Structure 1
């Protein structure tokens, strides 16, 4: 096995989470009598470029299929994040009716709707038919395709280059990261900018966020590594920002290497933080397995304790990270009878692996659980506010990552 960027041999295991089905491969009721494919979920770290990565054990076009169930617009905080980004980037880059904005992995139009509202031409590139169709209903042009060098060359020959190319939580999702970045270089206008958002590997390790590792996430990224990958394809990072999303993310601003826009001090600051944390050495990557095992054991012990005490525990948020946690811990409906999710695209289905049913929020009032396990812990404040009424019957909340924490108020 070789590094997907630099092709150095991969020998160092970052974490081994056993085997699991893809985290967004939700099951229908008729699927429950059929065998379910599980794939190894093991991440490696490259000693040369320090890219943390999982192997492509299932083709990406199977992972991101026409029946994809993740729709971005069901998180109010994520919509607010997208709206604030658009307001900021339009002003900073002085975008207008003459500009073209391209979003890669545009999902259901959650972000481009705000670009459209500014009167700026935009186009989304989205491989999943289910989400692209919803974007079109909103009036957002969505091309159903994976992005890469071939797509970029065809697009530029038929249309024009983009003044802003953005990708939120997509760089980690591409198996051929070199082909993807080569496409960014081709599709970007000479004076244009790229913004890429991704969960920061520094926070993943420091906060024991092992549940963000799943098959759809092929790579786990630091600024140092991303900077090197972009530079290898003639692109230069000129700014970086820390974001609270997904438990701690980075937004990287890049441009053509020959562009004269100066590099902001933030770039050197983040690189220094990563260096001081030891991200160029081996020790930094060595302790996550122990933390994952601790989190797994603590959650299992808590759920068993609640069951023995006659307490009922429900889950909220049928998120991919929750599926990693539940499958690694071996949790099944006997300990967690259902999970609530706001998306109707997930309701009525079953979580992959654990086969826990996904239900609507009305189920909470009907069953009045004693505890709610919040699986997307990065949205705990939003979820606690939304479910404030459960305190009427004394229900409490719990998160498992980065450590088990039971609470009444977020």
Structure 2
């Protein structure tokens, strides 16, 4: 025991970890804490982090620059969970209050950890842990039935939740901010109308929205363009129902909303649409289905039709976080622009315009607004459906997404496509 304790103490000093206090901790627990601290040291070279176990043993990491954070581990189980699968265990333990921040805020803490990812990937514990965690969550195939379950997991939670933190039109995708302090509602309308302008809907056009959500884009297309018929398809029943309710108040040209998988719809509607649009849907199909998705788009397009696909994108390929796979977006995968265009070309489509790029600020700012709105709406939400455990999960999701956008360069891309040849 003494030899192992010295081993991890020596390695803690090599990673910059400084032991601040050790009192009242059993030798076995102290050894486990120090071994865990050695691992955390690989992820905390920049910034300032104090890690303590139940307020007793404490180790400090980082270069002392930037905001200061103190992370308290409340149980030994937390250590085991994070060591076994760091990304999944970190999120689950936060949800269960296995660890809390005694100093600093969650989004800042997660941004600091993102900044340290490159250093961690070069370290022995960092490489070993990332490999172990990701082996449990390889990319999975999404059949129509499984896709329905995946969508229900996130979008059929309840409209009251989304009404609490989204804008009035219930747009659950990146907004386009003309300026940093622009109201969220105005930024969302800016995104929708920019998208419609790029789609250039001709008079008499038949338009399809894949993943139509609560329907505001379809309603704007129906009321502000010369489209003759607008259809939205979704796999979320609560979304479809509310979209129908809102469309019922329109005086004319009401969109048609259908609860159907886009692949099934494609089989029944070859060449049926002059314009196809999809906002925030492509991230859900999974990397193994990229070509299948674009093939469905191609089959539904008229020969002279065009399609616009809007997606969160990353700069480089990366495995999806196992925590996000399990709790937020099962089956999802954030693509690169290169992989998106390559899959479209393989399916028989080509670019009709150079891709439109919207820098990471827009997505990060939307996430900041959503998290603020969510926490302000929290007191009015039904505790039987949205308990404190759910609140911590949702905050971890929104703060983690914001950190990924700010620090890892997640951005939004729109690709305008037509049939090849």
Structure 1 length-normalised TM: 0.47
Higher helix proportion: 2
Structure 2 length-normalised TM: 0.46
Q: Which has the larger radius of gyration?
A: 2
